[in-house]
Structure 1
Amino acid sequence: MKLCALIPSYNHHTKLGTITERLFALHLPVILVDDASGPEASAAMRALAQDSRITLVRHEHNQGKGGAVMSGMQEAIRQGYTHALQVDADGQHDLASIPELLAKARQYPNAVISGKPEYDDSIPKGRKYGRYITHFWVWVETLSFAIEDAMCGLRVYPLTACQSLMGKQRLGKRMDFDIEILVRLYWLGTPSYFVVTPVHYPQDGLSHFQPFKDNVRISWLHTRLFFGMLVRLPVLLARKYSL
């Protein structure tokens, strides 16, 4: 098992130094994906990448969070890593959860290990209730309660399974990515396990979530996944009742 960390970033750079130091303390090299950030953020990432433990991947045009994660996965695969720990660059997740995620990844190397957010009062109400809608649809799309949270950006991915999926399926490149990859990996037989992860939304935080565009995009995703579930209904039912 060969692990690295993967950080997608679009104009998030103020917390990257702290995040990378925490990852280095866990002996994790870092693949940092600059998703066409502005000059200040890009310069900060180039400066960080002077450290030999960081590989910087730069997009000339913004591809969205999912596009950045997939670029990072491809680079990790190229370097021979078997697993990638995705860490968001905004600093919302409590990184103290990472050792438990890594321990579970070693226990279940063929599974996705994901954070299960535990929010404080800082979460915007629209984001909080919107997640419940996604939880419901993911349970419908998988005919299972196995996916406890489909939107957390703190995850350990088994790269062989992800590479196989990316070779077969065009995945959403923006905020729909986190949901889609987890559901489609489940359909292919890749299980998920969850670790409770405290999440805080700082008042000065920069969010790239676009309420109208991203909610429309996610709604369209759930429509596609629902009909995908119907096609796979016999297999999903067989799996459900064989457990």
Structure 2
Amino acid sequence: MSDFCVIIPVYNHPDTIGPTVADIRHLGVPVVLVDDGSAAVCADVLRALAEADPQVHLERLPENCGKGAAVKVGLLRAEKLGFQHALQIDADGQHNTADIPRLMDLARQYPEAVISGMPDYDDSVPLLRFYCRYLTHILVWINTLSLEIQDSMCGFRAYPVAPICQLLRAESLGDRMDFDTEVLVKWFWQGGRIVQTKTRVSYPLDGISHFRGFEDNWLLTKLHIRLLFGMLWRLPRLIGRRDSVKGLSL
């Protein structure tokens, strides 16, 4: 059994998930697919991928519950399967699978840390999305009293499975697009280390985005309000250990 697996939350990406899984399996890394209530066409593709390869594990949610919910299911499945680290990657092909070995090397070097990507965008990134991310960056810096989380929104990262599953059981974490930011902030709050590294991110012209405009922006707004209040009652502890928790960017 490998120490690592890759978790892929999937919601209606029938055209990109096959090549993404093939790239990962070419690296020799097992895959945990989480079908987040996809339509029949995509569900059939996922079932075929799992049936063709014993190192491709499939979990299926009966209805669409959100990216965060799917990642949480994948992490708990990874724990049950005995993996020490789980990488999270999107199903739409925007993340660079060639960077997986680098994240794995960093996870071996810093086994108790979350290894999180920092996007290095190419020209395909929508400019509005690029600039709006900085508002979340600023709010995260406020809610952690730190500049150590330089990007909290990249869904390409590696988790130490046992401690992150402890966090899942101890904390309420978002089920949708709020998950990626919330899990990093709450990991930081409990004293966890975060190592960040640049990774190329592209937006394919034929890519399918499930970002829901007003709904997800409102979801993120509510998240940052909750985090602000969470930071305020943790304020003495955060101030007291500002120098004890060190992030690292590579």
TM range (shorter): over 0.9
1:131-158 Cα shifts (integer Å, max 9, x gaps) = 0000001111111111111000110011
Q: What are the residue-to-residue correspondences of 1:39-188 with 2, within 5 Å?
A: 39-50=40-51, 51-188=53-190
Code of the aligned partner of 1:54: V
Q: Secondary structure at the match of 1:183?
A: helix
For the structure 1 residues 52 and 218, does the alpha-carbon distance in structure 2 shift closer, same or farther, using more than 3 Å as the test? same
Identity over aligned residues, as a percent? 49
**CA positional deviation for 1:76:** 0.6
Supply the RMSD in Å over aligned alpha carbons: 1.2
Aligned to 2:248: none
Q: Secondary structure at the match of 1:240?
A: coil
Aligned to 2:19: 18
Q: Secondary structure at the match of 1:76?
A: helix
Paired with 1:166 and 1:90, the residues of 2 have a C-alpha distance of 25
Q: Secondary structure at the match of 1:49?
A: helix
Worse overlay, 7-16 or 60-69? 7-16
Aligned to 1:207: 209
Paired with 1:96 and 1:46, the residues of 2 have a C-alpha distance of 25
Paired with 1:216 and 1:242, the residues of 2 have a C-alpha distance of 34
Code of the aligned partner of 1:95: T
Worse overlay, 155-164 or 59-68? 155-164
Structure 1 gaps of 5+ residues are none
Code of the aligned partner of 2:192: T
Paired with 2:27 and 2:239, the residues of 1 have a C-alpha distance of 40
Code of the aligned partner of 1:234: P
Alignment: residue pair count? 243
Q: Secondary structure at the match of 2:58?
A: strand
Structure 2 gaps of 5+ residues are 246-250
Taking structure 2 as the reference length, what is the TM-score of the superposition? 0.94
Paired with 1:55 and 1:98, the residues of 2 have a C-alpha distance of 18
Code of the aligned partner of 1:217: L
Q: What are the residue-to-residue correspondences of 1:222-237 with 2, within 5 Å?
A: 222-237=224-239
Paired with 1:23 and 1:241, the residues of 2 have a C-alpha distance of 37
Q: Secondary structure at the match of 2:242?
A: helix
**Paired residues of 1:161 and 1:185 also in contact (CA < 8 A):** no
Aligned to 1:29: 30
